[in-house]
A and B are shown apart, each in its own frame.
Chain A
Amino acid sequence: MRGPSLAVKGGILLAAVFVALKFVLPLLTAPLPMSLIYLYLFLTIIGIVVYGTLSGESTEALLGPIFRFLSGEGIGGAVKSARLAVLVLFPLLVGWQTYGGLAPNTQPPAESRTIHPAPPGEFVGLSNPLPNTPENVMMGTGLYAAYCLPCHGPKFNGNGAASDGFNPPPANFADPGTIAMLQESYLFWRIKKGGVGLSVEGHPWKSAMPRWEVELSDDQIWKIIMAEYAGAGQKPRTWE
């Protein structure tokens, strides 16, 4: 039995690439702009054509079905209706894309913010100067309760009573994607300089994270860092 022809396989590949880029990828990471998706589809088509035209036989395998499909000769039944559908849908799709490209944006610009931009050099590689003693952790916990708990919450999960109005929301320290993947030095920077200390990729203008150097000493910040890890049940990242 012959398998599906090269043209059909190519079509399936093209559809699969589109579905993967447009719908599957956004589940994992930031969505790709449509222009980039078209570029990838275009490259896929080139690949298929190059592969298909390597030999006379494969050229026929690639183009033959396409030609027959287009001309409508020698096909029948369901394929014939499919041909009609394609011939009708294609101009409509082009029209729709043109409309979509010109129509005013109805959604705010996608502003993807880098959650963990690089810290300034002076905050790289600092280590906590205070010993991790129960007293220090306890003092840190007290400071956390007074200063951080309204936003980051009693459970260290960002669900404080004052968290609702802020976008982005306060960080969830219990989530493995926040302090567990950071070094203490990084936290020290973030707490001392706050949201306004972020670089432009971090969108400092949106962050409600206060600049604590105004109110807390360095020692207090180091104690809070210990308390944060203890309370959230996490360990700072170290480079071993």
Chain B
Amino acid sequence: MRTVPLRYRAAALLAVAVGLLWVAPALSQETVVVRAKLIQGEVPTDPAAPIWNTIAATEFPMSPQVHWQKRIGSVTAKSVKVRGVHNNKQIAFMVEYADPTQDPADAAALEFMVGDKKAHFAHGQPMGQVEGGPVNIWYWRNDTPAAADMSAQGFGTLKKQAQQDVQAKAVWKDEKTKVTFKERKLSLRKDPKGEVVKDPQTGNPIVDEDTKVAEQEVSGVWRVVFTRALTTTDKEDVQIQPGTFPNVAFAVWDGKKLESGDLKEAGSQKAVSSWWYINAEPPPDYSIYLYGLIAVVLAAGVEFVIIRKVKKGQPA
């Protein structure tokens, strides 16, 4: 057998490497987009519908709301897992998160930008140099059977819209679930003798930080399904076109009653995220394959003609 020359082997290796670079992003775990899969038939309004088991979730970390007053130091929901499906008419999102107790004031919300103007994720608060737009908030609360379709443009402007277009249905289950979150531990640095080490410049004790991604098993899961038409007649609503990437943000409230009688989380004291994306899967467009095929045929034709010309023009 003939050995393959080194430079061809090198070229093959290079081709494989380039190919891998190309497909790698497609294989990585989704972290920024909720992909609403296109399905046939009705979208599921029930969190228990079996179709949800076939949809991959995107998990978004949540922060305690410390961006504006009134703040909160720590929250129950460390992350939300979000799934989506649509059928070209209706879209459904399922927000799933761990909450050990089921309380009347438990609540969750999705937030979207409305129209072409960018809106700040904190209730569309005004921006100094940029003219912002309003936000549309889909809100569910355990003790209110209907979801609320709301609007805001700035703190203190949140209101229920005249036209209500959103439905929600939620189920709490006493089952175990895994949540991943960053665990941070601070400790005073000690020398081998057990003495606290001080910064030679400031004289302050040196604090060491240990951060790791932890997985915790929690009992108690909320699954909240929001449904709405992809597009509505209401100017105050987000309009969702398949194939586009509208922004989305999340909020969750643990409405557990504390001994003081106050709710653990309520109002601005909640778990929040900033903007991420949704994408309603566009319907398959087979004409693209056709155009691709036409391009192949055309390129092959051009190639053929060129070779003919070259062969003719060259002394044999």
Question: Which A positions have Cβ atoms within 8 angstroms of B?
Answer: 19, 23, 67-68, 70-73, 78, 82, 87, 90-92, 94-99, 102-109, 120, 150-151, 153-155, 157, 159, 161-167, 193, 195-200, 203-208, 210, 214-215, 230
Q: Beyond A159-B211, A205-B127, is A99–B292 a contact (Cβ under 8 Å)?
A: yes
Q: Which residues of A contact B156 (CB under 8 A)?
A: none
Taken together as a complex, chains A and B put the C-alpha atoms of A208 and B121 apart, in Å, by: 8
Interface presence of B184 (CB below 8 A): yes
Which of A200, A203, A208 has most B Cβ within 10 Å? A208
Q: Given A105-B243, A161-B74, A197-B128, A205 and B63 touching (CB < 8 A)? A: no
Which 5 A-B pairs have CB atoms at the shortest separation, nearest pair first? A165-B63, A95-B296, A99-B292, A98-B295, A164-B61
Min distance, Cβ B315 to any Cβ of chain A, angstroms: 10
The residues in B between 279 and 299 inclusive whose CB is less than 8 angstroms from any CB of A are: 279, 282, 285, 288-289, 291-299
Beta-carbon contact of B121 and A206 below 8 Å: yes
In the bound complex, do residue A205 and residue B275 qualify as a contact, i.e. CB atoms below 8 Å apart? yes
In contact, B66 and A151 (Cβ under 8 angstroms): yes
Report the contact-size class of chain B (Cβ under 8 Å from the partner).
Answer: 35 or more
- Do B63 and A107 have beta carbons less than 8 Å apart? no
CB atoms of A193 and B5 under 8 A apart: no
A117 to chain B, nearest CB (A): 9
Which chain B residues numbered 118 to 132 have a C-beta less than 8 Å away from chain A?
118-122, 125-130, 132
A70, A150, A167: the one within 8 Å of B274 (CB): A167
| Choice from B128, B277, B293 contacting A204 with Cβ under 8 Å | B128
Does chain A have a CB within 8 A of B202? Answer: yes
Tell me, yes or no, whether B196 is within 8 Å of chain A by CB.
Answer: no
- A67–B307 Cα distance when bound, in Å, is 8
What would be 6 A-B contacts, judged by CB atoms less than 8 Å apart? Answer: A90-B299, A94-B296, A99-B291, A120-B129, A161-B74, A163-B63
Chain B interface SS verdict (over half): mixed
| Residues A215 and B69 in contact, CB atoms below 8 Å apart | yes
| Inter-chain contacts of B184 with A (CB < 8 A) | 159, 161
Q: Are A154 and B21 in contact (CB under 8 A)?
A: no
* Alpha-carbon gap, A220 to B50, bound state (A): 56
Q: A198: which B residues are within 8 A, CB to CB?
A: 127-130
Task: Tell whether, in the assembled complex, residue A193 and residue B128 are in contact, meaning their CB atoms are under 8 Å apart.
Answer: yes
Given contacts A99-B292, A205-B132, contact A210 B68 (CB under 8 A): yes
Which of B125, B129, B272, B306 sits near A70, CB closer than 8 Å?
A: B306
**Are the CB atoms of A167 and B276 closer together than 8 Å?**
yes
Contact A205 B73, beta carbon cutoff 8 Å: no
Check A91 against B33 for contact (C-beta < 8 Å): no
Whether B178 is near chain A, meaning CB under 8 Å from some CB there, is: no
Which residues of B does A touch, CB under 8 Å?
A: 4-5, 8, 18, 21, 25-26, 32-33, 60-64, 66-69, 71, 73-74, 78, 113, 118-122, 125-130, 132, 181-182, 184, 186, 202, 207, 209, 211, 243, 245, 271-277, 279, 282, 285, 288-289, 291-300, 303, 306-307, 310-311, 313-314, 316
Which residues on A sit within 8 Å (CB–CB) of B314? 67-68, 71, 73
Please indicate the chain B residues that have their CB under 8 angstroms from the CB of A193 in the complex. 128
- Do B316 and A73 have beta carbons less than 8 Å apart? yes
- List the A side residues contacting B282 at CB < 8 Å: 104
CB-CB under 8 A from B300, the residues of chain A are 91
Question: In the bound complex, what is the Cα–Cα distance between A155 and B293 (angstroms)?
Answer: 57
Q: B295 contacts A155, CB within 8 Å?
A: no
A233 (CB) vs chain B CBs: closest residue = B201
Decide: A196 and B127 in contact? CB cutoff 8 A.
Answer: yes
Residues of A within 8 A of B292 (CB): 95-96, 98-99, 102
Cα distance A208–B129 in the bound complex, in angstroms: 16
Known: A164-B182, A230-B202. A159 touches B209 (CB 8 A): yes
B residues less than 8 Å from A203 (CB atoms): 118
